[in-house]
Amino acid sequence: MQDAVRIEGVSKTFVTRSGQVHALADVSLTVGEGEFVSLIGPSGCGKSTLMRLVADLEQPTAGTVEVFGKTARKARVDQDYGIAFQQAGLLPWRTVAANIALPLEIHGVGRRERRSRVAELAEMVGLSDFADHHPDQLSGGMQQRVAIARALAERPRLLLMDEPFGALDEMTRERMQSELARITAETGAAVVFVTHSIPEAVFLSDRVVVMSPRPGRITSVITTGIGRDTARDEALRESPAFFEKVTEVRAALHGAPVRSPALEGR
């Protein structure tokens, strides 16, 4: 089986007016086909930069990034990944349907095929009734669902998500997490998911990659052990195994064990 992402010995240095910033130092990471991997860490640990390197929105200063065995650039041109950012980034003058259709339009997909694919995606994210609405008529959660549908438009085998639920309220956020888990299970796509929420990372992922800043590097990788076939629902959030992993990730993040898991709740 071919790996979705293979990052080897990657460093990234930004040159700014006030000098050089070492965003990433010697980072290596492999994401398997269909695997859900979260990148977590404090601000400035380079987790977004790492995702942007995979997306070929930045180029590494050293090291290599491969996506499905190709260079990141080739993978971008071949549309091997779909992407969603913290802001939904919908075009305000386009309807929900037209926003989802944007990548298909740009890649010359025929009108009829486009329409059926958009209908399919709108149903997948539960927005069939809102196809003709404009983004300003939608709530933040709905906008983000449109963005996810758009990212899935070309059936990518890899999804890149940069804090997609970061701007949502807690309730919407938990619901979106369940939906994302369902959608990725349906599509079988690998996911690189940037977040700063520990429960979110544990809830969704097969593996949680913990990073630390200055310079950004991977300090530990925690396997959640929550299988792909485990339902991502409220029961999981309440389970002791879940709390245990949350505590483990928190300990890894803070570099010290936390007092009592029982007090941690969520």
Partner 1 sequence: MTTALADPTSPVPETAPVARSGHRRTWVARLRAAVLGLLGLVGVAGLWEGYKAVGPEEGVLVGENRVLPRTTDLAMPHVWDMVQRLFEPVTSLGDAEPLWRVVLDASVVSLGIATVGWLVGTSVGLLLAVLMQRVRIAEWGLLPWIVLSQTVPLIAFAPVVRSWGSRIEIAGWEWPSWLSVAVIASYLAFFPVAVGALKGLQSPDRIHTELLRTYAASATDTLRKVRIPAAVPYLLPALRLGAASAVIGTVVAEVSTGYLDGVGRLLVSYAGQASGDPAKAWAPIFGAIGLGLVAAGFVALLGALMRNYRRGEAV
We find the least distance from the C-beta atom of residue 240 to partner 1, in angstroms, to be 25
Which of 36, 68, 85, 165 forms a contact with partner 1 (CB under 8 A)? 85
Q: Distance from CA of residue 11 to its chain's centroid? A: 21
136 binds partner 1 (CB under 8 A): yes
Residue number, 98 or 258, with CB nearest to partner 1: 98
Cβ count near 163 (within 10 Å): 20
Residue number, 13 or 172, with CB nearest to partner 1: 172
We find the least distance from the C-beta atom of residue 138 to partner 1, in angstroms, to be 7
141 binds partner 1 (CB under 8 A): yes
157 binds partner 1 (CB under 8 A): no
103 binds partner 1 (CB under 8 A): yes
Residue number, 56 or 244, with CB nearest to partner 1: 56
Report 174-213 residues binding partner 1 (CB under 8 A): 175, 178-179, 182, 186
We find the least distance from the C-beta atom of residue 81 to partner 1, in angstroms, to be 8
Return d(Cα 44, Cα 33) in angstroms, integer. 28
57 binds partner 1 (CB under 8 A): yes
Sheet containing strand 5-16, edge to edge, reads 19-31, 5-16, 62-67, 70-71
Which of 16, 19, 92, 111 forms a contact with partner 1 (CB under 8 A)? 92
Residue number, 187 or 220, with CB nearest to partner 1: 187
